[in-house]
Amino acid sequence: MVSSVAGTLIEGRISQVRPFRTPHHSASMAALVGGGLKVRPGEVSLAHLGVLFLDELPEFQRAVLDSLREPLETGVVDVARANAHVTFPARVQLVAAMNPCRCGHLGDPALACSRAPRCAADYQGKVSGPLLDRIDLHVEVDPVSAADLGLPPPAEGSAEVAARVAAARRVQTERLAGTKMRSNADLNGDMLELHATPDEPGRKLLLQPPKRCVSPRAAIRGCCAWRGLSRICRGVRGSGGSMSLRR
């Protein structure tokens, strides 16, 4: 439907492939969430049921990024104009990438950032806290050295990981059969408690201030963080084929 409205159907056929959209950081608010004179869906709707990848996240205009907060929460975009009021679907997996600081060298032992910590604080401050709060998983990637390039490839390649993800999705589909939910991302309330309640050691671990991998703000996010973390843990355990949610 979205592709049809946007006029991007290839040979008039509905695509069987999930969308992967990568808007440039110069994108306007209308380009990202929809709008314009003749109201058209934005990138967040064109990525519906697929991936919206935002590279160089702090380089986007802050107001443009913040316009994503509501669709990320509700899964829809409301575009209100004088001549039209349109609601587009916008259920996406948001993936974003950014440098640790403007010069990109923070934490790099070979090329230390000369303006730390200001360089990082200014750069990371361009992304608002409420938007970061909606990103459940944060991963720091260490710089790659020349010596790293000579290492043998990892034992588990992309194809193997893709197979594990597909298996986890199948488990989720079976678990949620007969409900309106499709994946762990939809789990909420009673269903989240039923399927993603950790055991006692796991609960204690989740209540500890996070060190890596989860948003530093997660510690103060209360139930939102708890829900996000529980869904992630459910997904990670699911990919390993386990039903229980343990530390």
Q: Judged by CB under 5 A, which of 119, 127, 187, 206 binds Zn ion?
A: 119
User: Which tokens belong to 75?
Assistant: 């899964």
Helix%, strand%, coil% for the chain, nearest 5: 40, 10, 45
Kindly tell me which of 85 and 118 has the beta carbon lying closer to Zn ion: 118
Binding segment for Zn ion among 60-68, 96-104, 190-198, 212-220 (CB under 5 A)?
96-104
Tell me the closest approach of the beta carbon of residue 121 to Zn ion, in angstroms. 10
229 binds Zn ion (CB under 5 A): no
103 binds Zn ion (CB under 5 A): yes
113 binds Zn ion (CB under 5 A): yes
Tell me the closest approach of the beta carbon of residue 119 to Zn ion, in angstroms. 3
Binding segment for Zn ion among 60-68, 117-125, 174-182, 224-232 (CB under 5 A)?
117-125
- Considering only CA atoms, which of 162, 185, 173 is closest in space to residue 93? 185
Kindly tell me which of 102 and 175 has the beta carbon lying closer to Zn ion: 102
- Contact indicator for 119, 125 with CB cutoff of 8 Å: no
Tell me the closest approach of the beta carbon of residue 144 to Zn ion, in angstroms. 18
* x-marked contacts with Zn ion along 183-212 as a string, rule CB under 5 A: ------------------------------
Rg (CA), the chain: 20
124 binds Zn ion (CB under 5 A): no
Per-residue CA distances from 210 to 11, 19, 31, 228 (Å): 49, 32, 35, 13
98 binds Zn ion (CB under 5 A): no
- Contact indicator for 45, 77 with CB cutoff of 8 Å: yes
77 binds Zn ion (CB under 5 A): no
Q: What is the 3-state secondary structure (H, E, C) of 16-27?
A: CCCCEECCCCCC
Strand, helix or coil at 135? coil
Bridge partners of residue 137, in order along the sequence: 214
Binding segment for Zn ion among 31-39, 57-65, 111-119, 142-150 (CB under 5 A)?
111-119
101 binds Zn ion (CB under 5 A): yes
Binding segment for Zn ion among 64-72, 119-127, 205-213, 238-246 (CB under 5 A)?
119-127
Tell me the closest approach of the beta carbon of residue 124 to Zn ion, in angstroms. 11
C-alpha dihedral, 177 to 183 to 184 to 189, nearest 10°: -60
Tell me the closest approach of the beta carbon of residue 106 to Zn ion, in angstroms. 5
Q: Among positive and negative, which fits the CA dihedral 230, 231, 232, 235?
A: positive
- Contact indicator for 235, 171 with CB cutoff of 8 Å: no
Which positions lie near Zn ion, rule CB under 5 A?
101, 103, 113, 119
